[in-house]
Amino acid sequence: MKIIEVTWFDAQSSLKHISVEDAIKNITPRITKSVGYLVKECDDYILLAFMKFDDDSFKHWQVIPKGMIKSRKVIKKNG
């Protein structure tokens, strides 16, 4: 399994009161970086996993839609 770093635009939301003018001026997607094991890749998304145990199970996972991905690079290629 490859270990990759993904730079992506994270969706944002809030319950905070804000004017339309302030929203237009100040709210943008956050650029985020995730590093993890590339478990699955298909046309629509990638699946990353973190905290790998010796039985090949994982404690945490993350699905990132490909339309949100800005770039990615391989950190390490595993067997």
pLDDT tens figures, 8-39: 999 888 999 999 999 999 998 889 999 999 99
Q: Compute the distance between CA of residue 63 and CA of residue 59 in angstroms, rounded to an integer.
A: 14
Q: How many CA atoms lie within 13 A of 75 on its CB side?
A: 12
- Record the pTM: 0.81
Q: Would you state the pLDDT for residue 12?
A: 86
The residue ranges of every structural domain in the chain are: 2-77
